[in-house]
Amino acid sequence: MLDIQHIAKTFNPGTITEKVALVDLSLHLSPGEFVTVIGGNGAGKSTLMNSIAGTFFVDRGTISIDGEDITRWPEHRRAKYIGRVFQDPMMGTAAGMMIEENLAIASRRGRMPSLRWSAPKSDQQKFRDLLATLGLGLEDRLESKVGLLSGGQRQALTLLMATMADPKLLLLDEHTAALDPKTAEQVLRLTKDIVESRHLTTLMITHNMRDALRCGNRLIMMYDGRILIDVAGEEKKHLTVPDLLQMFEKAAGSTLDSDSLLLS
Amino acid sequence: MDLIIPTLSMGLLWSILAIGVYLTFRVLDIADLTVEGSFPLGAATAAKLLSAGSDPLTAIGVAGIAGMLSGVVTGWLTTKLRIPALLAGILTMIALYSVNLRIMGKANLSLLATDTIFTKSAFLSDDRTVVVLIVGLISVLLVSGFCYWFFGTEIGAAIRATGFNPSMIRANGVNTNFTIMLGLLLSNGLVAVSGALVAQSNGFADVGMGVGTIVIGLASVIIGEVLFGTRTFWNCLLSVVLGSIVYRVVIALVLEMGMPPNDLKLFTAILVAIALSLPLLQARFKGRQRKEAP
């Protein structure tokens, strides 16, 4: 499904703020895999995510989806295959537009917009049914502006929008990090429901080790722009936080300088 | 009393400019100064064509297309060359000053001896001021009807989303360079049409008639929003048109009260500065009230 070969990315090369974010990273995702990504600040998690989404181009290497080389595709073109939820709840929706209009835009992700009416009345029932699956009561608020929703509601809506046009790949960039614990839990449960019931190929960054362990069927830990640990299947199922810390120490040859980074 | 109809007409003709400014300033969230050049561009193009004996509708149409092209130039500067939108607009505006002079061949072109959209519409009424009012009303209805339809379509929704959140609309597969370009094109097309109409109503096109138009547009947008609301897109369009009319009424009143016409631009600038800072002032005022509350 997703195939990343030897990509590298350095920000501000040759300047005082030079930052090597990804070093020769390769990763292959099979269809239906739900991969959680952990790692401390500066490990390159978000850079990996943004490289895939096309926020910027990588310096070296190739990225392909379903055998199609997308390394040089601009962000908007990749959106045809990729659904995204950002860390910032404000990023995934247009605040000044109605819930209905946001859903209408997401429902045609990757298709050239035409001169047809954007949010026809005939789509309302479909949207209402979809919103009802969130269990947040949004189905009665189709004509509310998204700016009036809470962070959690907006994030749940973004999740719905990212998945409604059947993405080949779903990218979740710490999408619960900005929410309060209770809401984060709710959004995470929703994420599991949607991803597992529809077998979406998913890459989910999280700051929280426990979330990384109880979600998905494969876990990746990044460190210094590389993939340090990659466990899947049965092995991942029985993994615990102490196991992970031990694996990290063995692989990195050092102890974690700050456990809180990973456990928060 | 006999000032009422001309004031209304002026408000209507200028409200097309205000809708153009609304499209960039509010919908795209860009302060586009191209307006100061595309407004006289529309006037110059129409005036030149009319003095060459062209049909007024054709003249207005070509003026609109010229305005659209100027919007494309600004759009290209800001999306492809990554020049900040404000600066890109200034560059196009300055360039247009020369272009407008070239089009007209001189600084001022009189239209008193030529047929205009208003002389051609003289059958509407014996009173010329009423003719201007009716033509203005029809134009505004056409323009707002078109905008309402267009911004309800998929492309229009994508442009609006670009203004609210470019990352969101890119993540949904829309090229924001395209939507920004299209928004600027439409906006400056409307501004040029407004310029073409105002020139025909005034009876001349002048290379300096663009000075301060952005501020007049902003004043109309903000006055409209404050007085008439922003609930829906239709509501916004209506507010902008009414705002433009209210602005003209205010100007007529202060002139009537004896303000020297030379101070008009100063007055408008102060008016807009106050209106733009209103949200902040309101918040401060409310904050103070809350603090004082027991």
Alpha-carbon torsion B249, B255, B259, B260, what sign? positive
Q: Who among A77, A90, A115 is closest to B155 (CB)?
A: A115
- Tell me how close the Cα of B174 comes to any Cα of chain A, in angstroms: 5
**Are A96 and B157 an interchain contact pair (Cβ–Cβ within 8 Å)?**
no
Q: Does residue B247 form part of some domain?
A: no
**Are A97 and B168 an interchain contact pair (Cβ–Cβ within 8 Å)?**
no
Sheet of A218-223: strand order equals: A82-85, A169-173, A202-205, A34-38, A218-223, A226-232
Give yes or no for residue B153 having a pLDDT over 80.
yes
Q: Does residue A126 form part of some domain?
A: no
Residues 6+ apart with CB under 8 A from B267: B251, B254, B259
| Residue of chain A whose Cα is closest to the Cα of B164 | A94
- Tell me how close the Cα of A25 comes to any Cα of chain B, in angstroms: 24
CB B23 within 8 A of CB B218: no
- Tell me how close the Cα of A109 comes to any Cα of chain B, in angstroms: 5
Cα dist from B290 to A225, B285, B286, whole Å: 50, 9, 6
Q: Who among B152, B160, B176 is closest to A117 (CB)?
A: B152
Structure tokens that stand for A258 in this block: 């700050």
Closest to A224 in 3D by CA, of A27, A39, A33, A7: A39
Radius of gyration of chain B (CA): 19
Q: Who among B152, B163, B172 is closest to A106 (CB)?
A: B172
Q: Which amino acid is at B168?
A: M
| Residue of chain A whose Cα is closest to the Cα of B167 | A91
Residues 6+ apart with CB under 8 A from A253: none
- E strand map for B60-111: 108-110
pLDDT at B244 (0 to 100): 97
pLDDT at B276 (0 to 100): 83
CB B192 within 8 A of CB B71: no
Contacts of B163 in chain A (CB under 8 A): 96
CB pairs under 8 A between A and B: 89
Q: Does residue B219 form part of some domain?
A: no
pLDDT at A260 (0 to 100): 45
CB A168 within 8 A of CB A66: yes
Domain encompassing residue B37: 4-210
**Are A114 and B156 an interchain contact pair (Cβ–Cβ within 8 Å)?**
no
Give yes or no for residue B68 having a pLDDT over 70.
yes
Q: Who among B161, B171, B176 is closest to A97 (CB)?
A: B161
Question: DSSP H helical segments within B172-263, as ranges?
Answer: 176-202, 213-228, 233-256
Contacts of A74 in chain B (CB under 8 A): 175
**How far apart, in whole angstroms, are the C-alpha atoms of residue A254 and residue A262?**
15
Contacts of A111 in chain B (CB under 8 A): 173
Q: Does residue A47 form part of some domain?
A: yes
**Are B164 and A111 an interchain contact pair (Cβ–Cβ within 8 Å)?**
no
**How far apart, in whole angstroms, are the C-alpha atoms of residue B196 and residue B35?**
13
Average pLDDT over residues B140-156: 97
**Are A118 and B169 an interchain contact pair (Cβ–Cβ within 8 Å)?**
no
Q: Does residue B19 form part of some domain?
A: yes
**Are A97 and B164 an interchain contact pair (Cβ–Cβ within 8 Å)?**
yes
Phi and psi at residue B13, in whole multiples of 5°?
-65, -40
**How far apart, in whole angstroms, are the C-alpha atoms of residue A11 and residue A18?**
6
- Tell me how close the Cα of B262 comes to any Cα of chain A, in angstroms: 40
Mean pLDDT of chain B: 93
**Are B155 and A105 an interchain contact pair (Cβ–Cβ within 8 Å)?**
no
pLDDT at B172 (0 to 100): 95
Reading chain A (264 residues) residue by residue, the pLDDT tens digits are 899 999 999 999 989 999 999 999 999 999 999 999 998 888 899 999 999 999 999 999 999 999 999 999 999 999 999 999 999 999 999 999 999 999 999 999 988 999 999 989 999 999 999 999 988 889 999 999 999 999 999 999 999 999 999 999 999 999 999 899 988 999 999 999 999 999 999 999 998 888 998 899 999 999 889 998 899 888 888 888 888 888 888 877 766 554 544 444
Q: Who among A74, A79, A95 is closest to B172 (CB)?
A: A79
DSSP code, position B122: G
Domain encompassing residue A57: 2-93+166-263
Give yes or no for residue B291 having a pLDDT over 70.
no
pLDDT at A255 (0 to 100): 62
Look at chain A and report how many structural domains it folds into.
1
DSSP code, position B153: B
Phi and psi at residue B254, in whole multiples of 5°?
-65, -30
Q: Does residue B148 form part of some domain?
A: yes
| Residue of chain B whose Cα is closest to the Cα of A111 | B173
pLDDT at A254 (0 to 100): 67
Look at chain B and report how many structural domains it folds into.
1
CB A202 within 8 A of CB A31: no
pLDDT at B70 (0 to 100): 98
CB B190 within 8 A of CB B143: yes
Q: Does residue B227 form part of some domain?
A: no
| Residue of chain B whose Cα is closest to the Cα of A117 | B153
**Are A94 and B169 an interchain contact pair (Cβ–Cβ within 8 Å)?**
yes
- Tell me how close the Cα of A153 comes to any Cα of chain B, in angstroms: 16
Q: Give the up-direction half-sphere exposure of residue A48: CA atoms within 13 A in the CB hemisphere.
A: 36
- Tell me how close the Cα of B158 comes to any Cα of chain A, in angstroms: 7
Cα dist from B227 to B4, B19, B142, whole Å: 20, 16, 23
pLDDT at A1 (0 to 100): 86
**How far apart, in whole angstroms, are the C-alpha atoms of residue A45 and residue A203?**
10
Q: DSSP labels for chain A?
A: -EEEEEEEEEESTTSTT-EEEEEEEEEEE-TT-EEEEE--TTSSHHHHHHHHHTSS--SEEEEEETTEE-TT--HHHHTTTEEEE-SSTTTTS-TTSBHHHHHHHHHTTTSPP-SSBSS-GGGHHHHHHHHHTTTSSGGG-TTSBGGGS-HHHHHHHHHHHHHHT--SEEEEESTTTTS-HHHHHHHHHHHHHHHHHHT--EEEE-S-HHHHHHSSSEEEEEETTEEEEEEEHHHHHT--HHHHHHHHHHHHSS--S-HHHHH-
Contacts of A94 in chain B (CB under 8 A): 160-161, 164-165, 168-169
Q: Which amino acid is at A136?
A: L
Average pLDDT over residues B125-137: 93
Q: Does residue B290 form part of some domain?
A: no
Closest to B249 in 3D by CA, of B31, B19, B8, B88: B8
**How far apart, in whole angstroms, are the C-alpha atoms of residue B129 and residue A97?**
40
| Residue of chain A whose Cα is closest to the Cα of B27 | A96
Q: Does residue A259 form part of some domain?
A: yes
Quote the ipTM score: 0.89
pLDDT-wise least confident of B85-99, B120-134, B277-291: B277-291
- E strand map for chain B: 108-110, 204-206
pLDDT at B285 (0 to 100): 82
**Are A76 and B170 an interchain contact pair (Cβ–Cβ within 8 Å)?**
yes
- Tell me how close the Cα of B255 comes to any Cα of chain A, in angstroms: 38
CATH of the domain at A241: 3.40.50.300
Contacts of A119 in chain B (CB under 8 A): 152, 157
**Are A95 and B173 an interchain contact pair (Cβ–Cβ within 8 Å)?**
no
Q: Does residue A70 form part of some domain?
A: yes
Alpha-carbon torsion A153, A154, A156, A160, what sign? positive
Q: Does residue B147 form part of some domain?
A: yes
pLDDT at A157 (0 to 100): 95
Q: Does residue B92 form part of some domain?
A: yes
**Are B168 and A94 an interchain contact pair (Cβ–Cβ within 8 Å)?**
yes
